[in-house]
A and B are shown apart, each in its own frame.
Chain A
Amino acid sequence: DAGVTQSPTHLIKTRGQQVTLRCSPKSGHDTVSWYQQALGQGPQFIFQYYEEEERQRGNFPDRFSGHQFPNYSSELNVNALLLGDSALYLCASSRESRVDYGYTFGSGTRLTVV
């Protein structure tokens, strides 16, 4: 049973460019959340998608946007990239939008902005 799959694994972009990251949730999961993890820090919540809608959003600018597709997969888009956007971007899936226990995380996309 495949877990959470993210692509690409690594990405290098130039400041000002746009990037799209992709996530396929674990089989049976319908909710996808995105997190940003800077080096040496804990993951920071970006937003969550459930039933193809953004249900909750963290403290991130509008440059960060997303989408969830009918098959529950999701994309994270970041526009006008800044050097400070360099981080590991993690996707987490769960069965329902409310989860009091374990989320399943992917291995992430390492984004470097130069």
Chain B
Amino acid sequence: GQSLEQPSEVTAVEGAIVQINCTYQTSGFYGLSWYQQHDGGAPTFLSYNALDGLEETGRFSSFLSRSDSYGYLLLQELQMKDSASYFCAWPSWDNQGGKLIFGQGTELSVKP
């Protein structure tokens, strides 16, 4: 089967660094994406790792290790506005089209 596992909750303080892990079991792996969602609003694309290694975008970085079926999202210099749910997602595609398979999400709470 296809599944992505991530912690349900993470708490950190403002200014700190937090890492949200994602392990997966999939077939036909195309890479790993990360999305942010505030209070049930629109999920917003953060990053995509097609290859192993670290991708950096401002305060956010994402890492992928295909051999370990593992990735993480790293958030630095945490701000209160970073409190949200974070989802890892697997972009799946075949000749019938594409879709995203999402993990259950990690709720990040940033405390003052």
Which A residues are within 8 Å of any B CB, using their own CB?
A: 3-4, 31, 33, 35, 37, 39-45, 48, 50, 55-56, 58, 88, 90, 92, 94, 97-108, 110
Pairwise interchain contact A42-B42, C-beta atoms closer than 8 A? no
Per the bound structure, the CA–CA distance linking A6 and B30 in Å amounts to 29
| Minimum CB–CB distance for A11 against chain B, Å | 14
Choose from A56, A106, A110 the contact partner of B40 (Cβ within 8 Å): A110
Interface residues of B toward A: which range?
20 to 34
The 3 closest A-B pairs by CB, nearest first: A102-B45, A55-B97, A42-B102
Pairwise interchain contact B40-A88, C-beta atoms closer than 8 A? yes
> Could you say which residues of chain B place their CB within 8 Å of the CB of A88?
40
Pairwise interchain contact A41-B105, C-beta atoms closer than 8 A? yes
Pairwise interchain contact A105-B97, C-beta atoms closer than 8 A? no
Per the bound structure, the CA–CA distance linking A33 and B101 in Å amounts to 12
Choose from B30, B103, B104, B105 the contact partner of A100 (Cβ within 8 Å): B30
Choose from A39, A43, A48, A94 the contact partner of B102 (Cβ within 8 Å): A43
Q: Select from chain B the residue with minimum beta-carbon distance to A102.
A: B45
| Minimum CB–CB distance for B37 against chain A, Å | 9
Pairwise interchain contact B99-A48, C-beta atoms closer than 8 A? yes
Other A-B contacts than A97-B97, A101-B45, A101-B91, 20 sampled, CB-CB below 8 A, are A3-B42, A31-B97, A31-B98, A33-B100, A35-B100, A40-B105, A41-B105, A42-B104, A55-B97, A58-B99, A88-B40, A94-B98, A98-B98, A101-B48, A102-B33, A105-B35, A107-B41, A107-B42, A108-B40, A108-B42
Q: Select from chain B the residue with minimum beta-carbon distance to A56.
A: B97
> Could you say which residues of chain A place their CB within 8 Å of the CB of B48?
100-102
Per the bound structure, the CA–CA distance linking A99 and B30 in Å amounts to 10
Per the bound structure, the CA–CA distance linking A55 and B94 in Å amounts to 10
Q: Which of B91, B93, B98: most chain A CB closer than 10 A?
A: B98
Q: List 8 A-B contacts (CB under 8 A).
A: A31-B97, A31-B98, A35-B100, A97-B97, A98-B97, A98-B98, A99-B98, A102-B33
